[in-house]
Structure 1
């Protein structure tokens, strides 16, 4: 596996989970589509954090001469959008899903700097809402740099509210899941090693991948954050993920490439968490 120290500098990152119509719960992570060969490859990278930036930069012109905006996905870097100014803040659980690709701006009404597609990793895009203004929603995105945000029009969105919250304490090496304010469980987990730490701050549950032929985990749950020290890992974009691990001896240790390895019981509960749900990682 080729590993490179990240050369991208902080500027703005990219995202997934539940506008206009509000329901009680967004779609759950469990039971979404099984990962085909291409996604299985992506899933394998997510466990460590790697990959190359597949997205065009804002303002890049395609062969036709017209400007093509970059897609706000886990594969892109969006340096022209604002960062999350309050990475430790707690949201109200509101998540939105664009019914179609929507423009992403640095400010409400400003020119679009990127586009948020309606799907991510073959599943629906659900991103958490950080702020709302008349006609606009500021959302957390799944791109690099970590914590990148953008404003999207409120029209054409489906909204829901996730009552779940995931917290990872890197110091204690524990994961806690709550639902409607009540603790579902706390589990010891394996986190990033000193040279490949798990990134801190708030992110969200981006996707759910079920490999057809699982090796170390039956389910891989990417989040909207990337490794700060690995630019590539096995050919992927360095996306951090929750996943299982065959050996229980790793739990409670700092031994991963940035991902969070969880016990089977934790993975089962995480599989029930809606996409777009807040993930808070603290040290």
Structure 2
């Protein structure tokens, strides 16, 4: 585990559409709590397919951002039962964002950043704003590699580090929930860290946080191509920088073995 004393007091939350230094809103403890960021050494269009378009004639994965200061997640489209109520912004100060899985009239089924991994629920269209992205990230933990696709075209790939055998990186479908800039560009988190919507399946908590997964850079590229973390994905600093400059919050991430 990386000692917290190695870090200045405040990492930065990178806000969508801005590369300037934003006001600090997240504490070091929250950044460290991203699991394994440290380790030893028409409305119907796309409704039947995951992350399909949310409006007729629009392609790519649907991304929604919450408008109000909280949102009720329903167990079914048009239903009254509330599965959960999530605050906006989220715990790290980022706008609450979801990945769209399907559409039913004025309701959207979204992938949720809660346990268990892969949980979904329903939100109303009039409580969110809608955007789309053609990007997606595929991560193969067995081959120790990631691939970024834009539609059917591969636009970037690289080597990764993954979770150790006792704290493996869980397979599944996720999305980027926030982008953080660690205060020390030469530190173990690298230049940027994307929070993921998933959590460790072996650690209920980590460093005071909920065991959230992340994709982040590293100051030790010799660690790439190996099992080195508590579950997070590590990539080269040049790769995480490219991602930070090109991939929006809400980009789908598929992790497979």
Does the alignment reach a TM-score above 0.5?
A: yes
Runs of 4+ in structure 1 displaced over 3 angstroms?
27-36, 88-92
Unaligned 5+ segments in structure 1 are 2-26, 51-85
2:173 is matched with which residue: 202, 213, 237? 202
1:265 is matched with which residue: 230, 238, 257? 238
Cα displacement string for residues 46-86 of structure 1 (whole angstroms, at most 9, x for unaligned residues): 14179xxxxxxxxxxxxxxxxxxxxxxxxxxxxxxxxxxx9
Q: Distance in 1 between matches of 2:204 and 2:182?
A: 23
Shift of 1:220: 1.3
Relative to the length of structure 1, the TM-score reads 0.72
Cα pair 1:108 1:151 within 8 Å, conserved: yes
Cα displacement string for residues 165-188 of structure 1 (whole angstroms, at most 9, x for unaligned residues): 011001101011122432121101
Paired residue total: 222
Q: Distance in 2 between matches of 1:188 and 1:34?
A: 32
1:114 is matched with which residue: 75, 84, 90? 84
Cα pair 2:37 2:216 within 8 Å, conserved: no
Q: Distance in 2 between matches of 1:177 and 1:219?
A: 17
Shift of 1:254: 1.3
State the match for 1:184 in structure 2.
155
Q: Determine helix, strand or coil for the equivalent of 2:194.
A: strand
Q: Does 1:144 align with 2:132?
A: no
Cα pair 2:72 2:86 within 8 Å, conserved: yes
Q: Determine helix, strand or coil for the equivalent of 2:214.
A: strand
Q: Distance in 2 between matches of 1:156 and 1:39?
A: 29
1:39 is matched with which residue: 13, 17, 27? 27
Q: 1:49 to 1:112 in 2, by over 3 A?
A: farther
Q: Distance in 2 between matches of 1:124 and 1:89?
A: 22
Structure 2 matches for 1:193-272, cutoff 5 A? 193-214=164-185, 215-216=187-188, 217-271=190-244, 272=246
Cα pair 1:96 1:158 within 8 Å, conserved: yes
State the match for 1:130 in structure 2.
101
Q: 1:165 to 1:29 in 2, by over 3 A?
A: farther
Unaligned 5+ segments in structure 2 are 2-15, 39-47, 53-59
State the match for 1:277 in structure 2.
251
Q: Does 1:165 align with 2:136?
A: yes
Shift of 1:40: 2.5
Higher strand residue share: 2
Shift of 1:28: 5.1
Cα pair 2:51 2:102 within 8 Å, conserved: no
Q: 1:129 to 1:173 in 2, by over 3 A?
A: same
Q: Distance in 1 between matches of 2:113 and 2:193?
A: 16
What's the Cα RMSD here? 2.4
Q: Distance in 1 between matches of 2:176 and 2:241?
A: 15
Q: Determine helix, strand or coil for the equivalent of 1:197.
A: coil
